[in-house]
Amino acid sequence: MKLCILGFGAVGRGVAKVISMKKEEMKEKYGLDLKITAVTDTSGAAIYDEGLDPNLLLKIKEDTGKISNYPEYGISKISNMEVLHKVDFDCLIEVTPTDIENGEPAKSHILKAFNDKKDVVTSNKGPLALSFRELAESAKENNVQLKYEASVGGAMPILNFAHDTLPSCNIKSIFGILNGTTNYILSRMAKEGSSYEQILKESQEMGIAETNPAQDVEGTDAACKVVILANSIMNRDVTLKDVEIVGISKITQEAISLARNEGYLIKLIGEISEDTLEVSPRLVREGSPFAVDGTLNVATLKTDLAEDVTVVGKGAGSIETASAILSDIISIYKSKE
Ligand SMILES: NC(=O)c1ccc[n+]([C@@H]2O[C@H](COP(=O)([O-])OP(=O)(O)OC[C@H]3O[C@@H](n4cnc5c(N)ncnc54)[C@H](OP(=O)(O)O)[C@@H]3O)[C@@H](O)[C@H]2O)c1
């Protein structure tokens, strides 16, 4: 199976690492022979139809910052669209940055791949939160697959779990912590008694929160995941503008202490049900499945037959997120056997 990877940041590099780690295991276990035929970043691309060396890709990116410096097969200033046009591949791995204004350039990359009859695996929330139906319909019309497990909760298994493990159940609602950065900030505020501003500053210094943390702390990132879950699992037709969003930037230490005195924690919760599509700070009981610390994500699916089923896992991280991408690649490969 030939892969074209657009974007070579934390997730793209994670994909190269897991392919390097698991290449032989994939062959032995599933008969799956993975080849990376193209990788892009903002400098250009590396393209080789016989397969690029994942370890050399990682070394070149680490040493020079530019994938276009790959010996012999590096090309500078080639656009992603040209790469998609030129390269021989079966599956696009779309891991460029999330844009929540128009979902671009990822949306165009994905639609181009579909039109060329290629499958797509992505961790990019932007196009899914803004244009879910359009993408799903295009995949269907072109008879190809769109998989996006990594876009919600990184390595927390929820989408494929709901579709493949709970197909007998009707999912009535989903309730969960869908953003690791805010959970980290709120957990530390509860444990240490420090202010929101202080913990946010330290989180930024540690690389857990972005320099511009707005998408996380104002709840937009969690809202994108609410939209993806609603459309994918609960068959809704919604976009980001349909979600009511309140972030955590106004949560005070006093509010957290008051909650603790009563046996509660404050968490940023995403809720999807028949009449609710919301992200907001809520009280959860200490000792409940939602009392998870640090950057963990957790979600409870309320079902008609199995009652409550709760999943928990790492919401982000290079290798963790790449594990979900590799699982989607394997699932596509197996579906064609
Ligand atoms: N990091 C996580 O744990 C995580 C978890 C779940 C989902 N996601 C999502 O996965 C995607 C990738 O995340 P990331 O953390 O890997 O991001 P990142 O570290 O910022 O990397 C983005 C990569 O895309 C490249 N890039 C930027 N604009 C591009 C363009 N127009 N065309 C081609 N390449 C472009 C960048 O090039 P340069 O290297 O040249 O700057 C970089 O290699 C995002 O949509 C993110 O929301 C991330």
- DSSP character at residue 98: P
Spell 99-135 as b/e; 16+ CB within 10 A means b. Answer: bbeebebbbebbbbbbeeebbbbbbbbbbbbbbbeeb
Q: How many CA atoms lie within 13 A of 93 on its CB side?
A: 34
Is the beta carbon of 179 within 6 A of some atom in ligand 1?
no
Co-location of 267 and 134 in the same domain:
no
Is the beta carbon of 95 within 6 A of some atom in ligand 1?
yes
If you measure from the C-alpha of residue 8 to the centroid of ligand 1, how many angstroms do you get, rounded to a whole number? Answer: 6
Co-location of 124 and 8 in the same domain:
yes
Co-location of 22 and 148 in the same domain:
yes
> Which two three-digit tokens encode residue 161?
């779990």
Residue of 17, 47, 130, 321 to test ligand 1 pocket, by largest number of atoms within 8 Å of CB: 321
Co-location of 328 and 230 in the same domain:
no
> Which two three-digit tokens encode residue 105?
């350039």
CATH code for the domain of 219: 3.30.360.10
Nearest 5°: CA angle at 106, between 102 and 107?
Answer: 60
Let me know: does 172 contact 236? Beta carbons within 8 Å.
no
Residue 54: is the preceding peptide bond cis (ω within 30°)?
no
Is the beta carbon of 8 within 6 A of some atom in ligand 1?
yes
Pairing mode of beta strands 244-245, 171-177? unpaired
Co-location of 167 and 130 in the same domain:
no
If you measure from the C-alpha of residue 215 to the centroid of ligand 1, how many angstroms do you get, rounded to a whole number? Answer: 15
Is the beta carbon of 12 within 6 A of some atom in ligand 1?
yes
If you measure from the C-alpha of residue 96 to the centroid of ligand 1, how many angstroms do you get, rounded to a whole number? Answer: 4
Co-location of 322 and 309 in the same domain:
no
For residue 12, which atom of ligand 1 is closest to its CA?
16
Q: What is the DSSP string of 23-62?
A: HHHHHHHH----EEEEEEETTEEEEEEEEE-HHHHHHHHH
> Which two three-digit tokens encode residue 206?
């540690």
Measured CA to CA, the distance from residue 195 to residue 59 in angstroms comes to 40
> Which two three-digit tokens encode residue 52?
């690029």
Residue numbers of the domain that contains 254: 163-314
**Distance of alpha carbon 130 from the chain centroid:** 15
CATH code for the domain of 71: 3.40.50.720
Let me know: does 245 contact 223? Beta carbons within 8 Å.
yes
Residue of 8, 47, 178, 227 to test ligand 1 pocket, by largest number of atoms within 8 Å of CB: 8
Is the beta carbon of 122 within 6 A of some atom in ligand 1?
no
Total number of domains constituting the chain: 2
Residue of 281, 297, 322, 304 whose CA lies nearest to 153:
297
Co-location of 7 and 150 in the same domain:
yes
260: left (phi over 0), alpha (psi -120 to 50) or beta: alpha
- DSSP character at residue 240: G
Residue of 266, 61, 52, 70 whose CA lies nearest to 177:
266
Centre a 10 Å sphere on the Cβ of residue 258 and count the other Cβ atoms it contains: 13
For residue 13, which atom of ligand 1 is closest to its CA?
16
Co-location of 136 and 181 in the same domain:
no
Co-location of 45 and 171 in the same domain:
no
Co-location of 310 and 323 in the same domain:
no
> In Å, what is the CA distance from 265 to each residue of 135, 256, 268, 293?
38, 7, 10, 11
Nearest 5°: CA angle at 112, between 228 and 91?
Answer: 75
Let me know: does 297 contact 321? Beta carbons within 8 Å.
no
Average pLDDT, 10 consecutive residues per value, the chain (337 residues) = 98 98 97 98 98 98 98 97 97 97 97 98 97 98 98 94 97 97 95 94 91 95 98 96 97 96 97 96 96 94 97 94 97 95
pLDDT at 330: 98
Is the beta carbon of 69 within 6 A of some atom in ligand 1?
no
pLDDT at 207: 87
If you measure from the C-alpha of residue 337 to the centroid of ligand 1, how many angstroms do you get, rounded to a whole number? Answer: 31
Measured CA to CA, the distance from residue 164 to residue 147 in angstroms comes to 13
What is the set of active-site residues?
A: 225
Co-location of 116 and 178 in the same domain:
no
Co-location of 63 and 133 in the same domain:
yes
pLDDT at 337: 85
Map residue 100 onto helix, strand or coil: coil
Is the beta carbon of 68 within 6 A of some atom in ligand 1?
no
Is the beta carbon of 317 within 6 A of some atom in ligand 1?
yes
Measured CA to CA, the distance from residue 46 to residue 60 in angstroms comes to 10
Let me know: does 103 contact 131? Beta carbons within 8 Å.
yes
